[in-house]
Amino acid sequence: MNIGIIGTGNMGRIVVEALLDGKAISPSSMMITNRTKSKALLLKDKYREIRVGANAEEVAAQSDLLFICVKPLDVYKILDEINPHLSAEKCLISITSPISTSQIEKKVSCSVARMIPSITNRALSGVSLITYGENCSDSWRIKIEKIIMKFSKPVCIDDKITRVSSDIVSCGPAFFSYLLQRFIQAAVKETEIDENTATIFASEMIVGLGELLKQGHYTLPSLQEKVCVKGGITGEGIKVFDNELGEVFEHLIQATHEKFKEDVDQVEMQFL
C-alpha cells in the first residue's frame, strides 16, 4: 500500500514519524509534500527512502491512502486540486477537527475518515481519534485501524464529542505540560531547589505516574487516595487545589469550544 502525506508541519511530521517508527509501512511506500519543501526534505534526510512529491496532486495520484495534514481553511483548496486523482478505491484521511467527514464526502468519491492525532503518538503511545465517513468501506476501516494500532490506540468517536475528545487527547499534553512547568517554577521560587533538578524530578514523576496507570496498578482516584495519608502533607496540597482551582477547567473547555465553533463556522462557509 502506498501512503501519501500532504502537509509536513508539526502534526504532519508526527504522523509521518509515527507511521514509520511504528513500522506501519516502509519509507519507500510513502510520498510526502509540503508547501515549504524544506520541511519535507528534512524528513527525507531522516528517512532516506521517502519520496518527496512536487505537489499535492502528484502525491494524491501516487497514493492509495492519503493523509491531509494542513490547516482547516486550506483543506477545501487541496481537495479541489487532488479530486481528479481520488478514485473510488482510494481513501482520504483528514486530521483537522473542524471539518467533518460528511463535508469532505460531498467533495470526493473515495472513502473518507478523520483521524485526530496526538503528540503522544510520536512515542508510539496515546490515542488517535477516528471518525469514519458514512460511505467509508469496511475494508478501509479495517486497514486504517490496523495501521493506526502500530503507533497508538484507535478510538472511534461521534462528531458531537469531537472537540472535548480532542481537548483531552490532542490538546491535553500541552495543557498538562503548562501545569507541570508552573509547578516547577513555584518550587524554584519558594525553595532552594534549582530549576534543572526540579525539572528532572517532575519529568520522572509524570513518566512514573503514566506507567502506574498504564500497568493498571491504580485508577486516578485510587492513586490519589493511596498518596493522601490521612492528616498528611499531600492532603494539605489537595486542599489548596480544592480552594483555588475553582472552575478553571470548565473555563478551559468553554474557551476551546468557542474557538472550535469559530473554526467550524469559517469552514462551513467554504463548503456551502
Provide the CATH number for the domain around residue 243. 1.10.3730
Task: Using alpha carbons, list the distances in angstroms from residue 160 to 23, 82, 131.
Answer: 32, 29, 11
Same domain as 25, residue 117? yes
Angle subtended by helix axes 10-21 and 37-46, to nearest 10:
20
Residue 12 lies in a domain: yes
Residue 10 lies in a domain: yes
Residue 130 lies in a domain: yes
Q: What is the pTM of this model?
A: 0.92
Looking at 157, 178, 197, which one is the last position of a domain? Answer: 157
* Confidence category of residue 166, pLDDT binned at 50, 70, 90: very high
Residue 55 lies in a domain: yes
Residue 260 lies in a domain: no
DSSP state of 87: -
Task: Please give the grid coordinates belonging to residue 184.
Answer: 516547577
Same domain as 131, residue 42? yes
Q: Rounded to an integer, what distance in angstroms lies between the CA atom of residue 31 and that of residue 16?
A: 10
Residue 269 lies in a domain: no
Looking at 139, 157, 175, which one is the last position of a domain? Answer: 157
Same domain as 143, residue 86? yes
Q: Rounded to an integer, what distance in angstroms lies between the CA atom of residue 33 and that of residue 55?
A: 6
pLDDT reading at 230 higher than 90: no
**How many domains, in total, are found in the chain?**
2
pLDDT reading at 46 higher than 90: yes
pLDDT in tens, 144-160: 999 999 999 999 999 99
Task: Please give the grid coordinates belonging to residue 258.
Answer: 468557542
Same domain as 150, residue 184? no
Quick one: pLDDT at residue 50?
97
pLDDT reading at 231 higher than 90: no
* Confidence category of residue 168, pLDDT binned at 50, 70, 90: very high
Same domain as 193, residue 83? no
pLDDT reading at 229 higher than 90: no
User: Percent of the chain having pLDDT more than 90?
Assistant: 99
* Confidence category of residue 63, pLDDT binned at 50, 70, 90: very high
Domain encompassing residue 105: 3-157
Residue 63 lies in a domain: yes
Residue 268 lies in a domain: no
Give DSSP secondary structure letters for 212-244. HHHTTS--HHHHHHHH--TTSHHHHHHHHHHHH
Evaluate whether 110 touches 136 at the Cβ level (below 8 Å). Answer: no
